[in-house]
Amino acid sequence: MFTPQPIGFVSSPYKDTSSIPKGLGAKHDAEGVLNILPEFSLGLTDIEGFSHLFVIWAFDRSEGFELLGKTPADIRPHGVFSTRSPRRPNPIGLTVVELLRRDKGSLQVRGVDMLDGTPILDLKPYMSSIPQEKLRRGWLAEAEARKG
């Protein structure tokens, strides 16, 4: 095992969890900044060539976990591993953001769904070879169909 350390922190318009869009049809188009600590900024070399990034981050304000719970998207309970719930055994978040520009150790991005000040654990370029037509959305597609 390892002890995670932040490589930076998120500047986000969201100050509390109630302001983050959730549920069916939620759009994550808010802009924010990923501020990478100076000792890790060399690791951003060549990142500008990518349109999207995976941001791995910590749910630093979440306590405890539930293996089964309800979501804002559905009235039925679902397993935590089939949701984006912050109440997880390991409080790790994953978000795909669009990289708009880089300014030294700061990355201006679109698509943040994290609270202001959230610790960033890692960044990875988004690379997927899975065609859109092969992706499945599981229970979320069923919940959307029930809502009409």
Would you say residue 72 lies in a domain? yes
SS (H, E, C) 26-40: CCCCCEEEEEECHHH
Inside any domain, residue 119: yes
**Does residue 104 carry a pLDDT above 90?**
yes
What is the pLDDT at residue 5?
96
Note whether residue 3 is domain-resident. no
Question: Could you give the number of structural domains in the chain?
Answer: 1
Specify the residue for token string 């520009």. Answer: 101
In a domain, 68, yes or no: yes
- Residue 20 covered by a domain: no
Range of the domain at 59: 8-13+25-147
The confidence score (pLDDT) of residue 95 equals 96
pLDDT band at residue 146 under the 50/70/90 scheme: confident
Among 42-51, 114-123, 138-147, which stretch is predicted with the lowest mean pLDDT? 138-147
5-43 pLDDT, tens digit each: 999 999 999 999 989 988 777 888 999 999 999 999 999
Tell me if 67 is assigned to some domain.
yes
Whole-angstrom CA distances from 3 to 6, 56, 121 are 10, 14, 11
Average pLDDT over residues 102-131: 94
Q: Provide the total of helices (H) and of strands (E) in the chain, helices listed first.
A: 1, 8
Let me know if residue 120 belongs to a domain: yes
